[in-house]
């Protein structure tokens, strides 16, 4: 009788543990354009914050994107005390088979004048391949995203600012047969659709007198709440176009 009770208890524990794992995790790694933001910087909003609200309970979005990080500094960051921090390592340790890693870098890799941050195109490629291979090693599914567009108009024309970094991402996706969402292209179309003046409503443009920005703010890189939601919708659109299995868990049109 005692053995039966013990066995039943173990089965209940195992079933509970299995139930706890009945979801797929999407990890986001990247920079400030995707990252979670503190209330003191509102209305600045990373697209990952809006994206996390677009799935049913079978999918959990774990947004690990961080302000100011590149493919290099995300895995080799300098702490305030001078120590080296690897933001990728805890993700790798917790990755389960069937989880996704959405990888979006480029904004800071371009800053080659900052040796602890910027990367050459060759190093950028090798770093992305590292994240892809590590994800696949754990049975995860890597998804590449090109960086989102900056709002930079010259003579009324929106200018692309990311150089050849998006092309490197697309090349890796083709060569390694990795799903890729071309966010530079999609957000370029989005910004153009609003026009030079109207597209300010997507970005962190705040009038003076704001609680968090008393002097006002004009930021053409980072999104506001509305912009983050519009960009997150484009990521969801990309998921559907790629026909990734998690498309069935999306609760947005």
Positions of the chain with pLDDT lower than 70, given as ranges? 1-21
Contact of 132 with 178, CB cutoff 8 Å = yes
Structural domain containing residue 145: 24-249
* Position 151 in a domain: yes
List the structure tokens of 34. 């995707």
* Position 28 in a domain: yes
* pLDDT at residue number 4: 47
What is the tens place of the pLDDT at every residue in 70-107? 999 999 887 777 778 899 999 999 999 999 999 999 99
- Percent of the chain residues topping a pLDDT of 70: 92
* pLDDT at residue number 22: 82
CB half-sphere exposure, 78, CA atoms < 13 A? 4
* pLDDT at residue number 214: 94
Give CA separation, 127 vs 70, 106, 120, 223, in Å. Answer: 10, 11, 10, 26
* Position 34 in a domain: yes
The model scores a pTM over 0.85: yes
* Position 2 in a domain: no
* Position 8 in a domain: no
* pLDDT at residue number 85: 87
* Position 1 in a domain: no
* Position 19 in a domain: no
The rounded distance, in Å, linking the Cα atoms of 99 and 25 is 5
**3-state SS, residue 252:** coil
Strand partners for 62: 27
* pLDDT at residue number 82: 74
Q: What is the CATH number of the domain that holds 71?
A: 3.40.50.1110
The rounded distance, in Å, linking the Cα atoms of 145 and 186 is 11
* Position 11 in a domain: no
Number of structural domains, the chain?
1
């Amino acid at each position: 009788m005692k053995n039966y009770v013990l066995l039943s208890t173990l089965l209940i524990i195992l079933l509970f543990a299995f139930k706890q794992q009945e979801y797929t995790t999407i990890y986001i790694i990247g920079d400030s354009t995707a990252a979670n933001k503190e209330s003191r910087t509102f209305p600045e909003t990373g697209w990952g914050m809006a994206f996390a609200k677009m799935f049913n309970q079978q999918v959990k979005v774990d947004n690990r994107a961080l302000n100011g990080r590149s493919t290099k500094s995300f895995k080799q960051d300098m702490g305030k005390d001078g120590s080296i921090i690897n933001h990728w390592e805890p993700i790798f340790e917790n990755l389960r088979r069937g989880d996704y890693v959405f990888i979006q870098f480029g904004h800071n890799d371009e800053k080659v004048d900052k040796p602890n941050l910027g990367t050459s195109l060759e190093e950028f490629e090798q770093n992305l391949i590292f994240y892809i291979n590590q994800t696949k090693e754990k049975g995860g599914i890597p998804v590449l995203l090109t960086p989102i567009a900056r709002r930079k108009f010259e003579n009324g024309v929106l200018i692309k600012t990311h150089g050849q970094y998006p092309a490197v991402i697309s090349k890796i996706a083709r060569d390694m047969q990795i799903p890729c969402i071309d966010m530079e292209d999609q957000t370029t179309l989005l910004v153009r659709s609003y026009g030079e003046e109207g597209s300010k409503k997507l970005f962190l443009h705040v009038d003076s007198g704001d609680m968090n920005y008393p002097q006002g703010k004009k930021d053409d890189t980072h999104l506001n709440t509305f912009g983050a939601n519009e960009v997150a919708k484009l990521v969801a659109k990309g998921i559907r176009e790629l026909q990734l299995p998690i498309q069935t868990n999306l609760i947005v049109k």
